[in-house]
């Protein structure tokens, strides 16, 4: 029996305390996942040792047969999960088992409510790893030693999950990690040979590292009942122990693909879809890519961990190899196994290898094709879009070569449905275009209601022309990089001259010109009254119900993007709007009749109203209210 030295008791990080409390009280219906999580961690430890041993074979310490072992003791009520992987030093034990360094932890904890069902889903989305042991155990002990260190560098970690843990130095002859779960009374079912084997086959059959359990001799009594022998005679491998991605697709069930995803992504939920592909020729690699059903909490942290697991000739090289997919596809999870890279490849070497760019190009097209196929299932694709659509919108700016493919995957709200749900494709829009329509019209606003109520849509509704309603923060930036789709150019209806092309007849255009000529005097008076508050004043035919609207020059930054950048502290050059007046509106007719100060006040009220309708903010709201009140009481 080993004697512990240099023992100290430390407190868990606050986030760990919260997570442990919620897991212990919220995950009763998902208790069995503890074994999957511990096996996944053990497999990762074995992968890391295999990679480290490429440069230093001595790290194996004469034991290069990597494995995971599971034992149970029904009488003592314990389950032990053991691996001969990389192991941990004392500092690593404290860092890895006492804190959560994962990006997005704070955001995750903000969303927890104490509501059991909801929190269970969130915890599954976050991934619980080692701490899942406390779902079934009232005490957990860990004994570990880093491969390559001396026997005296062993470490023991113990905790009851109640706010603190104890760390002690121990003698440990073997490297790797052993976790002992002291089961709660109501979790003793897991100290059972059949139960554990069934869980391994259910959740971890795909793990490449062999998962072994003691083979127990059976003796038969005369009545035909089986009795377990007291001592295991040998070990048996319980899982398939073959790298799933190396097997032929026809031999892999959907359940196996889904289980492997949960191992790779550390996720509870099933993926939406996946693509398994083997390439031979100029490039030689196998990829297995997944589209998750849930977003990680660090999805919008562009510097967060992302990418696929990289293997070279089935040897694990690194997690989160971000060089093989563009940033806008950072939600994709999976595995890449290639023969085209050397075993000692590093992140720095990946950036310099021309083969990496070729593989990246191929995987990007594979991922986009996978999404295109998923889009045939409208309900499933809507789930994807609601989760990852805003990230995919980054694509046209980052990936010129695939801009048309990405555009086909985008979804929008439109005036066709007047629904805030973004479920209309550009192909849907083009199919519904009116005869003579040559452009795709859109409007950008701070929110859906602001977009659908914009005065700029009035002429389009009158003529039955569909308009895309863009109301995500990223939308104006997206449209600055998305210039056309299937040969149809995009037009912002709130910028520049309105041109409906062949939809407007010659007689209609001639009537508009005559109206503009007849109102030249009014336009001149308004321009003089407003001075440098506007760039230009003109008569418009884009309005049917509103008296006025503001328009920006065609190539200027839009109102929404200006507001976002100004809120971020950016200093932007001043841009004065163009005020357009509806000659058919009663307020414009009243303006034409007004004299003196009343004319100037009404002109400014019309300008301020147009700015407000566009979602803008007035420099002097009190002055606007004062003018409006004066006009109402006149």
Give the pLDDT confidence of 164-198 residue by residue, as tens digits: 899 999 999 999 999 999 999 999 999 999 999 99
Rounded CA-CA distance 625/634 in Å is 14
The pLDDT of residue 227 = 46
> Would you place residue 154 in the very low, low, confident or very high pLDDT band (cuts 50, 70, 90)?
very high
In this structure, what is the dihedral angle of CA atoms 32, 35, 38, 43, given to the nearest 10 degrees? -130
In this predicted model, which residue has the larger pLDDT, 121 or 207? 207
Residue 346: predicted pLDDT: 74
Angle between helices 586-593 and 520-530 (to 10 degrees): 80
Nearest CA to 454 out of 578, 537, 542 is that of 542
> Cβ–Cβ contacts within 10 Å for residue 579, how many?
25
Of 61-65, 344-348, 433-437, 594-598, which range is least confident?
A: 344-348
Q: Is the pLDDT of residue 112 over 70?
A: no
pLDDT at 457: 94
Q: Say how far apart CA 524 and CA 538 lie, in whole Å.
A: 9
Residue ranges of domains in the chain, CATH in brackets: 5-242 (3.30.565.10), 245-386 (3.30.230.80), 411-500 (3.40.50.11260), 506-633 (1.20.120.790)
pLDDT at 394: 94
d(CA 412, CA 392): 12
Tokens of 569: 């502290």
Query: Residues 419-431: pLDDT tens digits?
Result: 899 999 999 999 9
- Sign of the Cα torsion 399, 405, 409, 412 reads positive
Angle at 413 between CA 461 and CA 380, to 5 degrees: 145
- Which single residue is written with the structure tokens 């196994």? 337
Please, are residues 537 and 499 in contact by the beta-carbon 8 Å criterion?
Answer: no
Sheet holding 439-444, edge to edge: 413-414, 467-470, 439-444, 488-492, 484-485
Q: Three-state SS string across 286-338, please?
A: EEEEEECCCCCCCCCCCCCCCCEEEEECCEEEEEEEHHHCCHHHCCCEEEEEE
**Token pair 């890391």: residue:** 48
User: What are the tens digits of pLDDT across the range 503-530?
Assistant: 777 788 888 888 889 989 999 999 999 9
∠ CA 215-217-221, rounded to 5°: 150
Read off the pLDDT band of 4 (50, 70, 90).
low
Contact call for residues 321 and 333 (beta carbons, < 8 A): no
Tokens 């789930």 correspond to what residue? 383
Q: Give the torsion sign (CA, 627, 628, 631, 634).
A: negative
Stretch 29-49: mean pLDDT: 86
Q: How confident is the model at residue 569 (pLDDT cuts 50, 70, 90)?
A: confident
- In this structure, the number of other CB atoms found within 10 A of the CB of residue 111 comes to 12
Q: Angle at Cα 225 formed by Cα 220 and Cα 226, nearest 5°?
A: 60
Task: State the Cα–Cα distance between residues 44 and 50, nearest whole angstrom.
Answer: 10
Cα–Cα distance between 366 and 623 in angstroms, integer?
Answer: 58
Question: If phi over 0 gives left and psi between -120 and 50 gives alpha, with beta otherwise, what is residue 326?
Answer: beta
- At residue 106, what are phi and psi to the nearest 5 degrees? -60, -40
Please choose, from the candidates 419, 472, 410, the residue with its C-alpha nearest in 3D space to the C-alpha of residue 440. Answer: 410
What's the pLDDT score for residue 222? 40
């Amino acid at each position: 029996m080993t004697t512990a030295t240099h023992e100290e008791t430390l407190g868990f990080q606050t986030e760990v305390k919260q997570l442990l409390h919620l897991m212990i009280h919220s995950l009763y219906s998902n208790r069995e996942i503890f074994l999957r999580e511990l096996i996944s961690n053990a497999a990762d430890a074995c992968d890391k040792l295999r990679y480290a041993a490429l440069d230093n074979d001595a790290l194996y310490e004469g034991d290069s047969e990597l494995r995971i072992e599971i034992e149970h003791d029904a009488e003592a009520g314990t389950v032990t999960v053991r691996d001969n992987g990389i192991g941990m030093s004392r500092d690593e034990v404290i860092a890895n088992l006492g804190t959560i360094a994962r990006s997005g932890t704070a955001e995750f904890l903000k969303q927890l409510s104490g509501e059991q069902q909801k929190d269970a889903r969130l915890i599954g989305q976050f991934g619980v790893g080692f701490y899942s042991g406390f779902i079934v155990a009232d005490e957990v002990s860990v004994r570990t030693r880093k491969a390559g260190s001396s026997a005296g560098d062993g470490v023991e970690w113990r905790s009851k999950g109640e706010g603190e843990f104890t760390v002690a130095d121990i003698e440990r002859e073997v490297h790797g990690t052993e976790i002992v779960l002291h089961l709660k009374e109501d979790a003793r079912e897991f100290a059972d040979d059949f139960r554990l084997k069934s869980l391994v086959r259910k959740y971890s059959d795909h793990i490449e590292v062999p998962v072994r359990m003691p083979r127990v001799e059976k003796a038969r009594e005369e009545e035909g009942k089986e009795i377990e022998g007291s001592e295991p005679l040998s070990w048996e491998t319980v899982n398939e122990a073959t790298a799933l991605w190396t097997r032929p697709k026809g031999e892999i069930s959907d359940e196996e693909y889904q289980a492997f995803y949960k191992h790779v992504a550390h996720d509870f939920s099933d993926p939406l879809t996946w693509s398994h592909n083997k390439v031979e020729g100029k490039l030689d690699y196998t990829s297995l890519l997944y589209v998750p059903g849930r977003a990680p909490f660090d999805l919008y942290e562009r510097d967060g961990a992302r990418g696929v697991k990289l293997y070279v000739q089935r040897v694990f090289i690194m997690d989160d190899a971000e060089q093989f997919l563009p940033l806008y596809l950072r939600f994709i999870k999976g595995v890449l196994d290639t023969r085209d890279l050397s075993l000692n490849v590093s992140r720095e070497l990946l950036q310099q290898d021309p083969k990496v760019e070729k593989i990246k190009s191929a995987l990007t097209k594979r991922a986009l094709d996978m999404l295109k196929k998923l889009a045939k299932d409208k309900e499933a694709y809507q789930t994807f879009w609601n989760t990852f659509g805003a990230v995919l919108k980054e694509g046209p700016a980052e990936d010129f070569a695939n801009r048309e493919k990405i555009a086909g995957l985008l979804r929008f709200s439109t005036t066709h449905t007047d629904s805030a749900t973004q479920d209309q494709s550009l192909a849907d829009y083009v199919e519904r275009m009116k005869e003579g329509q040559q452009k795709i019209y859109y409007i950008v606003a701070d929110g859906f209601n602001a977009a659908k109520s914009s005065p700029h849509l009035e002429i389009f509704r009158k003529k039955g022309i569909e308009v895309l309603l863009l109301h995500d923060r990223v939308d104006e930036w997206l449209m600055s990089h998305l210039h056309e789709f299937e040969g149809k150019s995009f037009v912002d209806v709130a910028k520049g001259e309105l041109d409906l092309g062949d939809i407007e007849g010659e007689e209609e255009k001639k009537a508009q010109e005559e109206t503009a000529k007849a109102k030249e005097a009014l336009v001149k008076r308004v321009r003089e009254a407003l001075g440098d508050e506007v760039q230009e004043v003109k008569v418009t035919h884009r309005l049917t119900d509103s008296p006025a609207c503001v328009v920006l020059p065609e190539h200027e930054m839009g109102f929404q993007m200006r507001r976002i950048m100004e809120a971020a502290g950016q200093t932007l050059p001043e841009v004065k709007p163009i005020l357009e007046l509806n000659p058919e509106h009663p307020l414009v007719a009243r303006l034409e009749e007004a004299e003196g100060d009343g004319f100037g006040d009404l002109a400014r009220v019309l300008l301020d109203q147009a700015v407000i309708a566009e979602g803008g903010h007035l420099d002097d709201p009190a002055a606007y209210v004062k003018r409006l009140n004066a006009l109402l009481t006149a």
